Amino acid sequence: MGDAAHSIHPIAGQGWNLGLRDVKTLIKLLREHKEEGLEIGAKIFCKKYNDLCYYDAYRLFQITDKLNWIFKRDQSHYKFIKNMGFKSINKNKTLKEKIVEFAMGV
């Protein structure tokens, strides 16, 4: 459902992660508006929710789009770049953790 809601390539299940982050954002915003006594269905609520989710989704869309483009390439120089990239990531635990955390929205 997350992939469809965000029109994102289903690479690595990122639509699911975005969907979960959307729900987390919605819950946070609902709590804030309830505490302030603001109307939940108001246009300002919907705009704020959209603004909060848009950048997150757009940024992840751009990354997955570029990764998908690279993985579709069969030329030897792209294969070399992919292999070097994966080797570098696998050797660097901190970098690997940062990538995972970013993808999960942590």
pLDDT digits 0-9 by tens, 42-80: 898 999 999 998 888 888 888 778 877 887 888 888 888
Give the dihedral of Cα atoms 48, 53, 54, 57; nearest 10 deg. 180
Q: What is the pLDDT of residues 3-52, one digit of tens each?
A: 667 777 676 677 888 888 899 999 999 999 989 888 888 898 999 999 99
What residues does each domain of the chain span?
A: 2-104
CA-CA distance, 76 to 98, in Å (whole number)?
Answer: 28
